[in-house]
Structure formats: structure tokens, C-alpha cells
Amino acid sequence: MLASYQEFEAAIAELLDVDLEDLAGYEDSLLDFGLDSVQIMSLVGKLELQGIQVSFIELAANVELSTWWNLLSKKKENNSGEAA
């Protein structure tokens, strides 16, 4: 899910059940696409399965693609560093 920003966008588009073309490059709140708390919790679970520990609160604090990408990329880097 975090191999590239485009793959991340595609995963979020699938989560929101919207066309990737509608979401790609979108910079505003994902609430505009109907994002809800259940979907955020689902994302938290999927990320945990990939070894990325993120909380609902962290994701809900700012529901924009670029913000999530930056947060998750940092967490992924931190996890990689701990495994080394």
C-alpha cells in the first residue's frame, strides 16, 4: 500500500469506493468523498497488518491524502530503522 504515492492513492480510492481519477491529486479533506470513522478504522487495521502502527486519532486529525502519506511514510521509515 505504501510502495508509491500512486499505489497509496489507489488504495484510498478503493477504501472510499470512488474512481481513482476523481481522487488523484486531490488536496482537500477526504470527508468530501464521504470518509467516515469506520473507513479510518479499516485503514488502521490494514496498515497494522503491514507493520505500520498508526492510531485512529493520528489519521482523523487531518484527513488529507498528502498529510496521511507524509505521516505513514515517516512511520514506515521508523519501522525500517528499528528492524535494522
For 5-59, write each residue's pLDDT tens digit.
999 999 999 999 999 999 988 999 999 999 999 999 999 999 999 889 999 999 9
CA distance 78 to 72: 10
Q: What is the pLDDT of residue 84?
A: 42
Q: How far apart are CA 21 and CA 1, in angstroms?
A: 18
Record the pTM: 0.86
Band (pLDDT 50/70/90 cuts) for residue 82 is low
